[in-house]
Amino acid sequence: MKRIAGLLAALTLAGCASGPNFSMRDVDALRPGVTTYAEAQRSLGQPNNVMRESDGSLRAGWARGESWGLFSGARAVIILFGPDGRMVRVVNRGQSGWNPGS
């Protein structure tokens, strides 16, 4: 019985995550007109989604979901990069739940 209780406790405390590991502090460090798409990738990781616009600009989205037993959280950001590859602006950002890595 103790062995089962220990296993259940370990499974409950074990965490899992999906998506690149970035924080909103990483996003805040990016600078419009200065940061390039390649620099954003180095800072935030590989984006989950990239969409090329007809004018050559690029929308890249990063999302991360995490769970720790009974607690979970998510964060996401979409950034617009101009045809020259430089950041234009953060289009959308958000986070929910418990995010110790935020």
* pLDDT tens digits, one per residue of 60-72: 999 988 777 777 7
Domain that holds residue 33: 15-96
Q: Give the containing element (helix H, strand E) for 12.
A: helix 2-13
41 falls within a domain: yes
101 falls within a domain: no
4 falls within a domain: no
The model's pTM is 0.76
Q: How far apart are CA 33 and CA 20, in angstroms?
A: 24
* pLDDT tens digits, one per residue of 23-49: 899 999 999 999 999 999 999 999 999
Tokens 């502090």 -> residue: 25
Tokens 């289009």 -> residue: 91
What CATH number did the domain enclosing 53 receive?
3.30.1450
